[in-house]
């Protein structure tokens, strides 16, 4: 559907995007995720024709978009909520882009109503743009794009102006809407939870390049390097040395977790080389009372941070250079563990992920 082939974008000597190649499938909810300045907006704007690559090409439905202006592409863009016209009412805002299609009053009205119903705003057509809540304004912006029936909807941080609760609600709605209409959505976000919650696949970007493209679970559980792992939430890293390698797996000696066999990571891994092994804080579980586990490490609680339904523990483990971060639910009393307590932590070796150094 969207084929990005060796695309680069330079501003003078600065390379905002460097040789990016990526394929987005039809009907996919695809997210471009990365820190500020990584080039995700630049890439989105180039798909929509609002910016031009300095090298490479973008294909939509097999057709090269070289030289095709934004208004002749099968794409439409949604910006942050304040991008609706304040002097027009809801209907007029939504109908705005339809004017140039000269559909006639009847058809135009039908399309506007259809778009308003898609975003659950039926009946609010006559409201002034200034008489709407933040979430409603965002829905108007969405309806205004959907009414054009694009093949691809491009969303540039569309929810970032909303408060946390509304943002989470809109994430669910947006995902539901995308599944209902079946249009390809490409979302730019710097919010990892947003990308994980909504996407079929995510491209994680840093410094003008793509570090990893995969489904949310794969990105979260099997990040290809420390940078990706760190960007998608907390992760404990321990030092490791490669002691054996077969085709698809490697054996590493780790600091604290002993010898483990893991999936072979991307990058250079060879017997004798150093690697890093990571484990997410929630994959370490406190063993209560006399419980035992096949795989466990023991340590001392040195910090405890209470977050309501969960507690975050920092546990010093002898032989590990850095203490482990542990996220534990509070149903067994993690929130009452005294500083200085000795605890044992269970882990599943499958939760350990190796990364090339
Ligand atoms: N017109 C421009 N002239 C010079 N540099 C630019 C221009 N537009 C973008 N850049 C630079 O290109 C890089 C990528 O910008 P881009 O807007 O794509 O980043 P981003 O990942 O979307 O970040 P943000 O989340 O902050 O919008 C940034 O370092 C930015 O400063």
Cβ(345)–Cβ(296) under 8 Å? Answer: yes
Distance CA 240, CA 356 (A): 10
Reported as a single tens digit per residue, the pLDDT across 149-177 is 889 999 999 888 778 888 888 888 889 88
3-state secondary structure 201-270: EEEEEECCEEEEEECHHHHHHCCCCHHHHHHCCCCEEEEEEEEEECCCEEEEEECCCEEEEEECCCCCCC
Q: What secondary structure does DSSP assign to 83-142, as a single string?
A: -S-TTSBHHHHHHGGGGGG---HHHHHHHHHHHHHHTT-TT-TTSBGGGS-HHHHHHHHH
CA quadruple 70, 76, 79, 85: dihedral sign: positive
Distance 15 CA to ligand 1 centre (A): 10
Reported as a single tens digit per residue, the pLDDT across 44-67 is 999 999 999 999 999 999 999 999
Distance CA 109, CA 227 (A): 49
Reported as a single tens digit per residue, the pLDDT across 190-217 is 999 999 999 999 999 999 999 999 999 9
Residue-level pLDDT at 259:
92
Tokens in use for 180? Answer: 């209902």
Q: Is the pLDDT of residue 308 over 90?
A: yes
Q: Which atom of ligand 1 lies nearest, measured to the CA of 41?
A: 22
Q: Whose CA is nearest to atom 25 of ligand 1?
A: 36
End-to-end CA distance of the chain: give it in Å, rounded.
Answer: 35
pLDDT interval class at 79 (50, 70, 90):
confident
Distance 42 CA to ligand 1 centre (A): 6
Which of 4, 10, 11 is the pocket-test mutation for ligand 1 (most atoms within 8 Å of CB)?
11
pLDDT interval class at 78 (50, 70, 90):
confident
Residue-level pLDDT at 101:
82
Q: Whose CA is nearest to atom 6 of ligand 1?
A: 11
Nearest to 197 by CA among 215, 224, 183: 215
Higher pLDDT: 246 or 185? It is: 185
pTM for this model (two decimals) = 0.89
Which of 31, 38, 191, 205 is the pocket-test mutation for ligand 1 (most atoms within 8 Å of CB)?
38
Q: Whose CA is nearest to atom 5 of ligand 1?
A: 11
Reported as a single tens digit per residue, the pLDDT across 313-328 is 999 999 899 999 999 9
Distance CA 103, CA 114 (A): 15
Residue-level pLDDT at 264:
87
Q: Is 12 in the pocket of ligand 1 (CB under 6 A)?
A: no
Cβ(78)–Cβ(145) under 8 Å? Answer: yes
* Averaged confidence pLDDT in the chain: 91
């Amino acid at each position: 559907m969207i084929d990005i082939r060796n695309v680069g974008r330079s501003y003078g000597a600065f390379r905002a995007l460097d040789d990016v190649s990526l394929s987005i499938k039809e009907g996919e909810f695809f997210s471009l995720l990365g820190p500020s300045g990584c080039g995700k907006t630049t890439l989105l704007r180039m798909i929509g024709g609002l910016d031009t690559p300095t090298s490479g090409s973008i294909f939509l439905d097999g057709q090269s978009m070289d030289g095709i202006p934004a208004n002749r592409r099968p794409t439409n863009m949604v910006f942050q909520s304040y991008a609706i016209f304040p002097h027009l009412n809801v209907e007029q805002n939504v109908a705005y882009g339809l004017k140039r299609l000269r559909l006639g009053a009847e058809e135009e009205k039908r399309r506007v109503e259809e778009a308003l119903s898609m975003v659950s705003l039926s009946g609010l057509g006559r409201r002034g743009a200034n008489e709407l809540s933040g979430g409603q304004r965002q829905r108007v912006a969405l309806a205004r794009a959907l009414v054009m029936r694009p093949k691809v909807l491009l969303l540039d941080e569309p929810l970032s102006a909303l408060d946390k609760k509304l943002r989470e609600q809109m994430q669910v709605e947006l995902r539901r809407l995308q599944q209902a209409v079946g249009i390809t959505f490409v979302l730019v976000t710097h919010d990892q939870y947003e990308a994980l919650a909504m996407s079929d696949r995510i491209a994680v970007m840093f410094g003008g390049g793509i570090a990893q493209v995969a489904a949310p679970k794969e990105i979260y559980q099997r990040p290809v390097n420390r940078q990706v792992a760190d960007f998608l939430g907390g992760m404990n890293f321990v030092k490791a040395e490669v002691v054996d390698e077969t085709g698809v797996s490697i054996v590493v000696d780790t600091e604290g977790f002993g010898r483990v066999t893991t999936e072979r990571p991307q990058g250079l891994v060879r017997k004798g080389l150093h690697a890093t092994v990571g484990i997410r804080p929630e994959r370490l579980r406190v063993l209560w009372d006399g419980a035992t586990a096949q795989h466990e490490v023991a340590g001392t609680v040195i910090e405890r941070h209470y977050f309501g339904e969960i507690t975050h523990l920092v546990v010093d483990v002898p032989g590990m250079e850095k203490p482990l971060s542990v996220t534990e639910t509070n149903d067994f009393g993690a929130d009452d563990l005294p500083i200085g307590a000795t605890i044992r932590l269970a882990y599943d070796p499958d939760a350990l992920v190796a990364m090339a150094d």
